[in-house]
């Protein structure tokens, strides 16, 4: 920082922090007035709290669910009320965090082309519904920060040369060399747009209905901060910064993960945590693993980062029956500092991203994975490369169908393989998040994909609450079995200190067919050895090989089997998980 802050009041410390952030982002502008505006917008000149560095804002009881506001529909009730009722009914004391995907008016991309940031989409409900959910759950919401809808008032004003919006978007001469720009889509980067000044070409990272905002204009930053303040008032505790890696553009670069981008994340962190020290920032950066890790900063950027490499590596492990790549990746992952953690997920509203395994899976493994997913009904989405060619970007498939077999084809182990995947996620260092459709075993929705005309719709089914409840109550339904088994695993996890998101983790080496790791509680009183047979053949292990302490009593938390003879061997059935603990 540019000044000593040791003896200063908290508001002065905050002001100096904000000034320092802005001085890096806007070195050629007078930033004092901008700092004052941002602080005033956040009402930090009225009420400013002091955040604690390296404080863990979570523990082993924190479990998240990811869902659209209208994933479950009911009779004559707004979908947000139906969702609230469903979660209260089925997950009391099990799920405590709910990520409602963009619930604002939108024009495309199932909500991520936001047409009005300060409204709840009327077909979903209203702000009262959001507030009610936030009273019973930690509410996670998207800050769609990189772009807005072409139907947003800002862009409509831009086309008319009016404010606010006339200078909110990135204009580029199409003759510029943009070949280095990294894209997640195959659509043209620039969109020709008529304005009072003639035709202009605006930057569209994700498509022509999603126009990138120009953060080089501090007025754009001020608008985003104003939106953040509203979301805090509406009960949002966890902010998911959507596509944040793309927000700063500099010609001649790949326009990804630029230093100004990181500084903006640090600035938003400063503002948010001084408004609510218990608020959390999660960065959504679907990029190669090492680049993703950079968003922790020095525990001063994201509190959590999406563990994007986990879904493709885990699916690859379970369909090949070999955990070598997953194990190598796990050994390379640094322990998260206190005050930061990984946001673990293995399914989401999007597909299984392939960029996060660049450098982790070789080309032959990737090709085999893609082919296997296509054999199980999956689709492949593509991105454009700078040479004009296209490359697979993600696999679109419901996770339940992705695990219906192996590279050899479909088999009888689909259900056990699916439960094994979630048992691994629940036990790993980090905060686990379940996609709602995984919790209930939803399968590929080909009709919705055909109706909506894009691959991602295959995993975005809308259930009628009555129909879903019937399936969950039917013991012969796979939905019921998935639901009950996952609920049980969640219940077990929540009572184990060794499963704290920041508890110690070490990778164990028990061959390529057993993915194993050790967790130890932060007070070192509990150890859990997590053994997962990721193959379709039984695997035998000597207890001596995992160094169980003979003076302790050991029990598998899942099967409740006990182990007394440390020289004995145990056999894991196909896709069986053991959580062997010395405390229960």
Question: Which pLDDT score, from 0 to 100, does residue 402 have?
Answer: 98
Give residue 6's pLDDT: 52
Domains of the chain: 504-581 (2.60.40.1180)
pLDDT band of 568, cuts 50, 70, 90? confident
Q: How far is CA 250 from CA 104, 190, 259, in A?
A: 30, 15, 11
Cα separation, 317 vs 76, in Å, equals 44
Q: Is the pLDDT of residue 180 over 80?
A: yes
Averaged pLDDT of the chain: 95
Residue 5 has pLDDT above 80, yes or no: no
pTM recorded for the entire structure: 0.96
Work out the percent of the chain whose per-residue pLDDT is above 70: 99
Model confidence at 183, pLDDT cuts 50, 70, 90, reads confident
E-assigned strand segments in 213-340 = 236-242, 280-283, 304-306
Q: Mean of the pLDDT values across residues 170-193? A: 94
CA distance 217 to 226: 15
Mean local confidence (pLDDT), 450-474 = 96
In the predicted model, is pLDDT for residue 3 greater than 70?
no
Tens-place pLDDT, residues 201-230? 999 999 999 999 999 999 999 999 999 999
pLDDT > 80? residue 127: yes
- Residue-wise pLDDT for 527-543, tens only, equals 999 999 999 999 999 98
pLDDT digits (tens, 9 = 90+) for 420-434: 999 999 999 999 999
pLDDT confidence bin for 160, thresholds 50/70/90? very high
pLDDT at 7: 61
Q: Residue 523 catalytic? A: no
pLDDT above 50 for 1: no
CA distances in angstroms from 220 to 170, 217, 393, 435, listed in the order given = 11, 6, 30, 32
Q: What is the pLDDT of residues 290-346, one digit of tens each?
A: 999 999 999 999 999 999 999 999 999 999 999 999 999 999 999 999 999 999 999
How many angstroms separate the Cα of 167 from the Cα of each of 101, 164, 200, 264?
28, 8, 12, 19
Which residue in the list 129, 209, 242, 556 is annotated as catalytic? Answer: 242
What is the average per-residue pLDDT within 500-525? 97
Distances in Å between the alpha carbon of 427 and those of 168, 260, 424, 499, 577?
44, 35, 5, 6, 10
> Which residue, chain included where needed, has tokens 């036990």?
427
In this structure, the strands spanning 554-556 and 577-581 are antiparallel
Please say whether the beta carbons of 84 and 436 come within 8 A.
no
d(CA 266, CA 17): 10
Which structure tokens are listed for 107? 């024009």
The Cα 97–Cα 209 span in angstroms is: 31
Model confidence band, residue 2 (pLDDT cutoffs 50, 70, 90): very low
Sequence-distant (6+) residues with CB within 8 A of 108 are 149, 207, 209, 210
Lookup result for tokens 């020709």:
192
Which phi and psi angles does 529 have, rounded to 5°? -95, 120
Task: Give the pLDDT confidence score for residue 337 in this predicted structure.
Answer: 96
């Amino acid at each position: 920082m540019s000044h000593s802050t040791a003896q200063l009041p908290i508001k002065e410390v905050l002001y100096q922090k904000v000034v320092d952030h802005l001085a890096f982002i806007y070195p050629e502008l007078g930033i004092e007035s901008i700092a004052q505006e941002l602080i005033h917008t956040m009402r930090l000149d009225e009420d400013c709290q002091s955040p604690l560095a390296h404080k863990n804002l979570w523990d082993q009881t924190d479990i998240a669910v990811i869902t659209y506001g209208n994933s479950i529909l009911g009779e004559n009730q707004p979908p947000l009320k139906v969702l609230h009722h469903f979660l209260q009914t089925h997950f009391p004391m099990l799920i405590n965090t709910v990520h409602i995907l963009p619930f604002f008016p939108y024009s495309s991309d199932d909500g991520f082309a936001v047409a009005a940031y300060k409204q709840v989409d009327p077909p979903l409900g209203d702000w009262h519904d959001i507030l009610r959910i936030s009273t019973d759950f930690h509410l996670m919401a998207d800050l769609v920060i990189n772009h807005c809808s072409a139907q947003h008032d800002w862009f409509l004003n831009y086309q008319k040369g009016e404010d606010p919006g006339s200078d909110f978007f990135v204009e580029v001469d199409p003759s510029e060399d943009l070949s280095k720009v990294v894209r997640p889509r195959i659509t043209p980067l620039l969109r020709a747009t008529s304005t009072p000044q003639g035709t202009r070409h605006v930057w569209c990272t994700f498509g022509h209905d999603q126009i990138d905002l120009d953060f080089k204009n501090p007025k754009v930053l001020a608008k985003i901060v104003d939106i953040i303040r509203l979301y805090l008032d509406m009960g949002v505790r966890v902010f998911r910064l959507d596509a944040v890696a793309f927000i700063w553009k500099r010609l001649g670069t790949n326009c990804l993960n630029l230093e100004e981008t990181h500084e903006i994340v640090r600035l938003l962190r400063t503002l948010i945590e001084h408004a609510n020290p218990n608020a959390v920032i999660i960065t959504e950066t679907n990029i190669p693993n090492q680049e993703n890790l950079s968003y922790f900063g020095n525990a001063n950027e994201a509190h959590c980062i999406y563990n994007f490499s986990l879904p493709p590596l885990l699916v690859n492990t379970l369909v090949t029956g070999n955990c070598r790549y997953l194990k190598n990746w796990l050994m390379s992952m640094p322990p998260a500092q206190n005050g930061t953690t990984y946001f673990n997920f293995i399914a989401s509203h999007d597909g299984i991203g392939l960029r996060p395994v660049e450098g982790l899976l070789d080309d032959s493994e990737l090709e085999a994975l893609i082919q296997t997913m296509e054999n199980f009904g999956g689709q492949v989405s593509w991105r454009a490369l700078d040479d004009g060619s296209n490359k697979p970007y993600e696999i679109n498939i419901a996770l339940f169908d992705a695990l219906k077999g192996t590279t050899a084809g479909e088999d009888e182990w689909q259900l056990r393989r699916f439960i094994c995947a979630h048992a691994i996620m629940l036990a790993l260092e980090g905060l686990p998040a379940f996609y709602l459709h995984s919790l209930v075993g939803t399968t590929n929705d080909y009709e919705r994909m055909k109706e909506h005309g894009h691959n991602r719709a295959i995993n975005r089914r809308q259930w009628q609450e009555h129909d879903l409840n019937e399936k969950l109550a039917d013991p012969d339904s796979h939905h019921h079995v998935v639901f009950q088994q996952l609920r049980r695993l969640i219940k077990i996890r929540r009572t184990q200190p060794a499963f704290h998101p920041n508890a110690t983790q070490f990778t164990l080496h028990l061959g390529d067919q057993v993915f194993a790791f050790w967790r130890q509680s932060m007070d070192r009183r509990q150890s859990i050895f997590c053994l997962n047979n990721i193959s379709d053949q039984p695997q035998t292990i000597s207890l001596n090989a995992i160094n169980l302490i003979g003076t302790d009593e050991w029990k598998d938390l899942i099967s409740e089997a006990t182990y007394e003879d440390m020289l004995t061997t145990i056999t894991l059935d196909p896709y069986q998980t053991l959580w062997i603990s010395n405390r229960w």
